[in-house]
Structure 1
Amino acid sequence: MDTSQPGTRRPLVVTLTARPGREEVERLCARLAAAPPAEVVCEAGALAPAGLAAVDALARLKLAATRHGHRLRVEGAGPELRALLRLTGLDETLGL
Structure 2
Amino acid sequence: MARPEPEKPPTPSPPPPSPAVLVLGRPVTRAEVQRLCERLSALARRAEPGPVTVDVGGVGRPDLAVVEALARLRLTAGRLGRGIQLRNACGELRRLLAWTGLDEALAAPAASGHAPASGHAPASGHAPASGHALGLELGGEAEQREEALGVQEGVEPGDPAP
Matched, 1:86 2:98: yes
State the identity %: 43
In the alignment, the residues of structure 1 paired with residue 90 and residue 40 of structure 2 have an alpha-carbon distance, to the nearest angstrom, of: 24
Letter in 1 for 2:52: V
Structure 1 runs not aligned, ≥5 long: 4-8
Q: Distance in 1 between matches of 2:41 and 2:26?
A: 23
Of structures 1 and 2, the one with the larger relative CO (CA 8 A, separation 6+) is: 1
SS of residue in 1 equivalent to 2:27: coil
Q: TM-score, normalised by structure 2?
A: 0.49
Contact residue 29 and residue 66 of structure 2 kept, 8 A: no
| C-alpha distance after superposition, 1:39-82 (max 9, x if no partner) | 20000111221111111111111111111112211111101011
The equivalent residue for 2:63 is 51
Correspondence for 1:26 among 19, 27, 34: 34
Read off the aligned partner of 1:40 and give its amino acid letter: V
Q: For the Cα contact (< 8 Å) 1:45–1:75, is it kept in 2?
A: yes
Q: Is the 8 A contact 1:41 1:74 kept in 2?
A: yes
Higher fraction of strand: 1
* Structure having the higher Rg: 2
Count, aligned residues: 90
Answer yes or no: is the 8 Å Cα contact 1:18–1:49 preserved in 2. no
- State TM-score, norm by structure 1: 0.78
Query: What is the SS of the residue equivalent to 2:99?
Result: helix
In the alignment, does 2:83 pair up with 1:71? yes
Q: Distance in 2 between matches of 1:70 and 1:10?
A: 15
Structure 2 unaligned runs (5+)?
1-14, 107-117, 120-162
For residue 24 of structure 2, what is the aligned residue in structure 1?
16
Task: Kindly report structure 1 stretches of 4+ aligned residues shifted beyond 4 Å.
Answer: none
State the secondary structure of the residue aligned to 1:70. coil
Match of 1:6 in 2: none
Tell whether the 8 Å contact from 1:13 to 1:42 is kept in structure 2 after alignment: yes
Structure having the higher helix fraction is: 1
The whole-number CA distance in structure 2 between the counterparts of 1:60 and 1:41 is 14
